[in-house]
Amino acid sequence: MFAKRQSALAASAGRPPERRSPAAGLAPLLRALKKPPVAVAGSAVLLFSAVALFVAVLGDPSAANPSARAGLDREARAAAAPPTGLEAFTAGLAGAYQDLAAEPAAAGGEATLTLPDGATVAGSGPVFTAPRLTAASPLTQAPIAGLFAPDPNGPQPIIADDGRVPAQAYARPFRPNGKPRVAMIVGGLGLNAVTTRAAIERLPAEITLSFVPYAEGLQGWIDLARAHGHEVMIEIPMEPTGYPDNDPGPYTLLASGGAADVEAKLPWLLGRATGYFAVMNYLGDRFMASDAGFSAFMGELRRRGVAFVDDGLARRRPGAWARASADHVVDEVQTPAAIMGRLNAVEALAKQRGGALGTGFGYPVTVEAVARWAAGLDARGLQLAPASAMTRAG
């Protein structure tokens, strides 16, 4: 094997190399490029090579631009604290009151609250704006032993074996100081959480609060109000003129229902919560004009030791364990000037006869007006009293 290899090398030694034409050398490559797969691959290689050559010769066209890198870790947004009742209720209202209070008069130390419609409230001392309140001494936590009886509809108010009654036990204690008394009820509470909390926090403890029986979490609202020192009432829906188009709800006491309707619906309404000293009408001009139904209603309240306060529609109608009627509804016109004017009328009546009771709905403008009005009562020679202090035996 090795001998034959040597002979071949010796034979070719000293020969000049064979000359091959260029066409002959490129022939295999040309034949390969004619195949479709090879042609496609070759085109791709050619394109990438051209791009690489362009970058190598000319450089990256964006290389001269400034650049920077920054981390994009996003900080978690801190949850905003919910507004307090005071903040939620008074936001945007201050401007509406800027023209309601005049500067204190120089002569005699008299201060005058001048309203845009010309009405005034005068008294000794400075004009007050409503202060930021701190929680008053809480009232006794409800229910009080002996003042309720279990019932499928909820605990029912009763007179205790020792003679105690809800109308007294759940009322805010009051000690008169000899000045004319003024009392205010703010109602319609419990359905709107912001409105309800704001009224509880914004108003002085002597202001009586009235709650809608259909409110969700009613007992919690009543507990919170009593913890702030407010005595409370529950509103009883009664048939108004225009019923059923004007409908106070499914447990409305009907003028045509008589005693049977009262006996069927009242336990549900009274059992919604405990801790109220009285109930109040919600609408009800037609029901309160019905002798049978209204007499049965008042008789039930008397039997249970519960007071009844009306908004003026049932004035001088006897019954219940104790009675009172409002002298003025202060927010039939819902503007600061109109409400302050009606509060002025409550004051004037109190000075005339020794006491007066007003009532209003829990509108933001009503609560703010009442808060500012109440802050200066003592300086104007009046005493703010809870509504229970205005009741008399029925």
Which residues are bridge partners to 157 per DSSP? 148
From first CA to last CA, the distance across the chain in angstroms is: 142
The pLDDT assigned to 61 comes to: 52
- The pLDDT assigned to 366 comes to 96
- Whose CA is closest to 315, among 285, 345, 275? 285
Least confident span in 118-127, 149-158, 283-292, 357-366? 118-127
Determine which helix (DSSP H) or strand (DSSP E) holds 361, and give its type and residue range.
Answer: strand 355-361
> Global pTM?
0.71
pLDDT in tens, 18-56: 445 545 555 555 565 555 555 555 655 555 555 555 444
**Which CATH number does 149-393 carry?**
3.20.20.370
pLDDT digits (tens, 9 = 90+) for 321-379: 999 999 999 999 999 999 999 999 999 999 999 999 999 999 999 999 999 999 999 99
- Give the per-residue pLDDT at 317: 83
Distance (Å, whole) CA 155 – CA 152: 8
What digits encode the pLDDT tens for the residues 220-251? 999 999 999 999 999 999 999 999 999 999 99
Residue with tokens 């509406």: 96
**Which among 156, 130, 101 is positioned nearest to 301, based on CA atoms?**
156
Q: What number is the average pLDDT over the span 381-388?
A: 98
Type and span of the H or E element at 110: strand 110-114
